[in-house]
Structure 1
Amino acid sequence: MTTGIISYGAYVPRARLRSETVREALGTGRAGRTRAVAGCDEDTTTMAVEAARRALRELPADSVGAVSFSSAHPVYAAKTNATAVHAALSLPAHARAVDRCGPERSALGALLDGFAGSGTHLVALADTVVGPAGGADEIGGGDGAAAFVLGGAAPVAVPLGTGAATAEFLDRWNAPGETFARTWEERFGQEAYTRLGAASVARALEDAGLAPSEVTSWAVTGLSERAARQLGRSTGLGDVRTDDLTSVIGRVGSAHAGILLADMLDRARPGDVLALTLLADGADTLVLRVTEAITAHRRRETTAAQIAAGDDQLAYATFLTWKGLLERPAPRRPEPARISAPASLREARWKYGFTGARCDACATRHMPPQRVCLRCGASGRMKDEPLADVAGTLATYTVDHLAYSPAPPVIGVVIDFDGGGRFACELTDADPEAVAIGDRVQMTFRRIGEADGIVNYFWKARPLSEEAS
């Protein structure tokens, strides 16, 4: 049985920073670009969860046998980040969760290695890119995630061939503890990557037994934009090359190749041959054929729709604050307390998986879960009730300008969930001036605080997108 892509999903944060906004503040910088920006309550873990939720929306969670998480900027260095992704998705305990963290090539390597495995495997790629003020990484970088479920059951795309070209050379680097990466002179990387990229494409097409004319769509990304442009002429694939999306979301580091692949799958038709090339510390090319299963597997929240829904009014000072590069006075309120590890473990299904309970006697939904029904008093009659994908309606809300937050004001809401249950939480990704009673919302996995180097995760509400409704 051939292992292919069973399902997939991408996540592009709502906030955008326009290069013109940076130019207005600094008087320098490249014009005509926009980058996706993770909110102050988002990181590589939360974005990986959101991409994986889209990939698993029509699949049972207990079908996943393993999870691999890859990022160049994981939240923890001495703790497995994939376990939080595993918990937020309510995956079974027997599913292995491991990190495959590192720069861009490590992420694509995690996906390529997944094709060689057995069983059903979730691969989540996420990254956030920062750089010096006004530099190429700040203006041309981006934040986002992509996720792929790999297995042999009714794949939407199957691999036909791969090709690699590896060389040791110094192009982009940073030492542990350094805030920003550094790069060598661009023409040096251009020459090396053009040669390596052409070799990887040729090997992948040979492995697939295909000519360049048989490729329907080709995406190329990597550390050298010049090499990526030149590669189209040297491989014979220039006519089928797709938009690399860097002008609208930036280059999303370890996740960018995955986002491009998700975007190609969103647009693909049965029988299409897709090629993906990454130029990073060498080159890798993947060639796939789209199957008939793609017609019944169209994503509701496509990559293009998420890009189009972005809010490009983010102020430069707010961007710097969210990235931890500008320290501003904190509210005169107590800072968040460190979470309790034992309590988090005991309540993991609620805290991470947002799993409530429903009384088997009177059908009352309880959030958070209870052992004794608060309505009929029945004891021991509760059944798990997954709620992360249940939409709701705002019953009331308040805008709090005094609560501790890196992005005040805090919007506190009370939600009536479809099917019963009322819950109070925070609303994110929303304009305080536009919130109204009766608004439809969905849940999203976010950071709610950090203390002593421990990130506290829980669920917030965000406006329900038209694609998800």
Structure 2
Amino acid sequence: MTGIKAFGGYVPRYRLSRAAIFAANGWFAAGLKGLARGERAMGSWDEDTITMAVEAARDCLGERAREAVGRLTLASTTLPFADRQNSTVVKEALNLPDGIAAFDIAGSQRAGTSALLDALQAGVGSDRDLLCVAAERPKSRPGSEGEMTNADAAAALLVGKDELAAVFLGGHSVTVDFVDRFRESGEAFDYSWEARWIREEGYGAIVPEAIAVALAKTRLTAAQIDRFILASPMAGVSASVAKKAGIRAEAVVDTLGGVLGHAGAAQPLVLLSHTLERAAPGETILLAGFGNGCDVIVLRTTGLIDAARPRRGITGHLADRKPIENYMQYLAFAGLLELEKGMRAELDQKPVLSALYRERKTVLGLVGGKCRETGTVQFPKSPLSVATGVRALNTQDDYPLAERPARIISYTADNLTFTPHPPSFYGGVEFDGGGRMMAEFVDLDEAGVEVGMPVHMVFRIKATDERRHFTKYFWKAAPERGTTLNAATAAAAVAAVD
């Protein structure tokens, strides 16, 4: 028997007002006025599919031993690299063991559910846990409907055979070349077909039939479904499909369209993670993923669901939001507007790939060193310990720092150094238990930073080699605004936006 052991998610802190989008484009696309309510999640300039996947996976894994993970899958249609395994970068950032398998799964809006269904089925023959992550940062043409409805987000689920928070009851897949949207290799934006056709012949015909087969396989009736999850950027689709499938209206899960938006292939897993955060033991959940067919996954929560809840989850990230009304800032952060960067940005960012390989634990995993003789912690790790008055050579063991709390010990606000989000805040960070490093500070409020402020480390884009199109990643420090945000707090935030 397999199922879900843990779950988590990530939503960028910035939330772009849809009214601001319409204010900028309404002169051209007046028909968007009906969508100009609520907000959508918006990544910062230094976030992409990989960084969001890392944060979702960290939220899911918590303090679990990384050695127990035997496989990692990353599902997305907006992967940064076409010929570099994106899931491998996620693996390095999570400090997972080298002896695991890693896969990228793409090419369909149901890539997330396909990855999860595969993990649940493959878990039967595995003696180690399987980590399934889905992340998406879709680009939308300015003035389009997708610009209003799309979102940036990620979710992660840990699949295994023991200590299950939700048991896998069964599933079903239908694969058919129903083209509701497509994007040719090398193109930036999706092309979408007519909405009524997609709603009636796609969701309305394909999904209910797949649900019926899945229910027959699991020997359940539609009336036994407590929570029905179907992600769609079109309002009312999940309720319409539920009615056709015979599922009770009160079982339909909110798609979070008003407060989050639609995160493509990641959205079904985002909604599943959000649902599990609020589910009680003994609930039957049916998840459907649509795109070139349909995946259906049926789960039942257990008495361990409460213990499996993540540190923050989708609930916590929804509550921790920073409204954005500046449409131009959104365009710049999304890479849709090229601003004049000035001479200080004219620095060749050519990567040294041999050094990256040798120091991948340091750079991607934020692994320092701890001296066996003195207990001194340092970053980066080196043959010679920095312990005062001791000549300790080759005495350091690996010491991961990414999950350790830290505080700011010094800072600078620099208006001269180039950054896509000026001013550039950086300074010294000291970790609980020892170890110091210089770091950039991100996700700041208007008050900025101060000495002594608690921070946690986040995986972000450090720089981009624009000549060779290579993205460099490193760790930055973000203010610690609390690790547990309960459902009541998130519900209040949702109600405020609605």
Query: Does TM, scored on the shorter chain, surpass 0.5?
Result: yes
Deviations 1:331-378 (A, max 9, x none): 321335212111111111111110101111111111111211112221
In the alignment, does 2:205 pair up with 1:206?
Answer: no
1:31 paired residue number: 36
Contact 2:14/2:323 (<8 A) preserved: yes
2:253 paired residue number: 242
In the alignment, does 2:266 pair up with 1:255?
Answer: yes
1:53 paired residue number: 58
Aligned-pair identity in percent equals: 32
Deviations 1:217-256 (A, max 9, x none): 1111136545333112212222211111111111001110
Whole-Å separation in 1 of the counterparts to 2:214 and 2:348: 51
Contact 1:52/1:146 (<8 A) preserved: yes
Whole-Å separation in 1 of the counterparts to 2:237 and 2:207: 8
Q: Which is further off, 167-176 or 386-395?
A: 167-176
Contact 1:122/1:149 (<8 A) preserved: yes
For residues 124-143 of structure 1, the aligned pairs below 5 Å read 124-143=133-152
The alpha carbon displacement at 1:401 in A equals: 1.2
For residues 34-113 of structure 1, the aligned pairs below 5 Å read 34-113=39-118
Whole-Å separation in 2 of the counterparts to 1:336 and 1:268: 50
Whole-Å separation in 1 of the counterparts to 2:242 and 2:365: 44
Whole-Å separation in 2 of the counterparts to 1:40 and 1:280: 29
SS at match of 2:56: helix
Question: What one-letter code is carried by the residue in structure 2 that aligns with 1:19?
Answer: R
Deviations 1:262-308 (A, max 9, x none): 00110111111111122222222211001112122222202122111
1:447 paired residue number: 461
Contact 2:368/2:380 (<8 A) preserved: yes
Whole-Å separation in 1 of the counterparts to 2:462 and 2:121: 38
The alpha carbon displacement at 1:165 in A equals: 3.4
Contact 1:103/1:253 (<8 A) preserved: no
Among residues 369, 372, 377, which one is paired with 1:360 in the alignment? 372
2:399 paired residue number: 385
TM-score by length of 1: 0.96
Aligned length: 468
Contact 1:16/1:310 (<8 A) preserved: yes
SS at match of 1:357: strand
Whole-Å separation in 1 of the counterparts to 2:142 and 2:410: 41
Whole-Å separation in 2 of the counterparts to 1:207 and 1:305: 35
For structure 2, list consecutive stretches of 5 or more residues without a partner in the other structure: 486-498
1:401 paired residue number: 415
Say if 1:221 and 1:234 are closer, same or farther in 2 by CA, change over 3 A.
Answer: same
In the alignment, does 2:322 pair up with 1:311?
Answer: yes
The alpha carbon displacement at 1:73 in A equals: 0.7
The alpha carbon displacement at 1:140 in A equals: 0.4
1:185 paired residue number: 194
Say if 1:223 and 1:18 are closer, same or farther in 2 by CA, change over 3 A.
Answer: closer
1:421 paired residue number: 435
Contact 1:393/1:415 (<8 A) preserved: yes
Whole-Å separation in 2 of the counterparts to 1:174 and 1:372: 52
RMSD: 1.6
Question: What one-letter code is carried by the residue in structure 2 that aligns with 1:195?
Answer: A
Contact 1:164/1:203 (<8 A) preserved: no
Among residues 218, 235, 238, which one is paired with 1:228 in the alignment? 238
Whole-Å separation in 1 of the counterparts to 2:196 and 2:429: 55
1:459 paired residue number: 475
Whole-Å separation in 1 of the counterparts to 2:217 and 2:233: 25
Contact 1:164/1:199 (<8 A) preserved: no
For residues 245-394 of structure 1, the aligned pairs below 5 Å read 245-333=256-344, 334-375=346-387, 376-394=390-408
